[in-house]
Amino acid sequence: MNRSHLVAFAAVLLAPAAAAAQPGYGPPPPPPAPQGYYSQPTTTVPGGFHDRTGRMALGFSLGLGGMQVGDDDVTCPSCDYDPIAGEFDFHIGGMLSPRFALLFEVQGNAQTVAENGYGATSLVQATAMVAGQYWLTPQLWVKGGIGAASLSYSYDDGYTSDSENIDEGMAIMGGVGYEVLSARTFSIDLQGRLVSGSYDSFDQNVTSGTIGVGFNWY
């Protein structure tokens, strides 16, 4: 074997080693990570707020408290006990951001003002309002609203019920609540609410204040 053959033979043997030593060559990159649990979208946004943007807001609450006409507490002179006011409200709307909801809200407050052997008479204030609810923290929120109010007497003798309208007016509402159970699609909160109706026929405000519990779906 002459010298030229030896050179060619050595080049064939050394070619793989030379190729491996060239920059840019190496083991292939690992395959992409499979799509699984860790790739799921998060349900919170910065600050720990639930990501409820674009979701419907629906809920109701029940509460107990008292009512005032002007500066005077609503009482029941003919009752053998000191009645308290009951409250129910319902809202529906949407989450415009993780921290703000725009709502349509209806609320009713009622308190017994007279009672006899046949039944009871209650003072009833009903309101329909546009409200905004804003979360200061992921669980603490404040609410305010404005709309229309209606004041009436409700009669119930145990067999039939009837009502007598007193006046229509304007309503304003404020509230604060804390979500004791807080999730992206559901919450239970403790809340305080204050609603006031203004009426021209007797130039007085009727104010209802209650503490209650609310149930909300998103």
Q: What band does 16 get if pLDDT is binned at 50, 70 and 90?
A: very low
- Judge whether residue 9 has pLDDT over 50: no
Supply the pLDDT for residue 157: 81
- Judge whether residue 6 has pLDDT over 50: no
Could you give phi then psi for residue 196, rounded to 5 degrees? -130, 130
Task: Tell me the CATH class for 52-217.
Answer: mainly beta
Question: Which position has the higher pLDDT, 107 or 27?
Answer: 107
**Chain segment 38-65, per-residue pLDDT in tens:** 445 678 899 999 999 999 999 999 999 9
Q: Which residues contact 189 (CB under 8 A, 6 or more apart)?
A: 61, 141, 177, 178, 179, 180, 213, 214, 216
Listed range (1-15, 18-32, 84-98, 112-126) with the worst mean pLDDT: 1-15
The DSSP result for 30-87, as a single string, is PPPPPPSGGGSPPSEETTTEE--TT-EEEEEEEEEEEEEETTEEP--TT-SS---EEE
Domain boundaries, the chain: 3-38, 52-217
Supply the pLDDT for residue 32: 58
Question: Which position has the higher pLDDT, 9 or 208?
Answer: 208
**Chain segment 156-213, per-residue pLDDT in tens:** 887 888 999 999 999 999 999 999 999 999 999 999 999 999 999 889 999 999 999 9
Supply the pLDDT for residue 116: 87
Question: Which position has the higher pLDDT, 92 or 201?
Answer: 92
pTM value is 0.77
Supply the pLDDT for residue 35: 52
pLDDT, mean over the chain: 87
Question: Which position has the higher pLDDT, 210 or 35?
Answer: 210
- Judge whether residue 12 has pLDDT over 90: no
